[in-house]
Amino acid sequence: MQNKFYLKYGKRIFDFFSSLIGIFLFLPFYFIIGILIKIEDKGPILYKSRRIGQNFKPFFLLKFRSMIVNAEKIGPLITKDKDPRITKIGKFLRKTKLDEFPQLFNVLKGEMSIVGPRPMVEEHVKVFKKEYEEILKIKPGLTDYATIRFINEEEILNGSQNFKEEYYQNILPRKVELNRKYLREIGFLTDLKLIFITMNKLVKK
């Protein structure tokens, strides 16, 4: 009963105020990062990536641009740690996960949640469409069990001879399992735990 109440009312309230506070606290960093991106190659500061959201409704996920302009047109969707398309400032942003911070605006708009399964591109959702029919009953989020487990995903893929095969056969199925684990355990205390673990992981990176 408590989890149903949290899902229906509490989670959105928590998301709204958390994202608002986060945007306010990190606003100076947004300006600094934006200037550094512009200085490097004069391209756009933000990158919009089409993702599949709650109930399969697509939306545009926001990130600080960490790759060259039109990178998605000249390479795969899956990115390795040493991908040549990654810019100099982009390497730092991806390492520290600062490139993900604009997603607080997605949370504020109600497209995402602070905690929830990471939003995926349509190509990946199609591979496990049946499983995602269950997973996408809730909003995708900034972090969850899968995000924490694969926080160094690009480094893992970098050590693989066939990184696409590694992702589709080993990483993506495991992510789906962990997404479903979150659905079973969803609740306010679970969300607080996952936020704390995520922050701890980022500090140690």
Specify the DSSP class assigned to residue 142: E
Domains identified in the chain, total number = 1
pLDDT band at 204 (very low <50, low <70, confident <90, very high): confident
Phi and psi dihedrals of 45, rounded to 5?
-75, -45
CA distance to 88, 136, 138, 193, per residue, from 2 (Å): 46, 21, 16, 17
Beta strand 141-143 pairing with 58-64: unpaired
Residue 156 pLDDT exceeds 90: no
Looking at residue 94, its amino acid is: R
User: What residues make up the domain containing 136?
Assistant: 2-204
Residue-level pLDDT at 205: 63
Mean pLDDT of 178-195: 95
Which is more confident, 158 or 205? 158
Phi and psi dihedrals of 17, rounded to 5?
-75, -35
pLDDT band at 180 (very low <50, low <70, confident <90, very high): very high
The pLDDT tens digits for 83-103 are: 889 999 999 999 899 999 999
Which is more confident, 77 or 195? 195
Percentage of the chain lying above the pLDDT 90 cut: 75
Phi and psi based region of residue 55 (left: phi greater than 0; alpha: psi -120 to 50; beta: remaining): left
Sign of the Cα torsion 61, 62, 66, 67 reads: positive
pTM of the model: 0.91
Looking at residue 67, its amino acid is: M
What the block records as the tokens of 8 is: 């229906």
The pLDDT tens digits for 159-172 are: 777 888 889 999 99
Angle in degrees, 0-180, between the axes of helices 188-204 and 172-185, rounded to the nearest 10:
140
Residue 133 pLDDT exceeds 60: yes
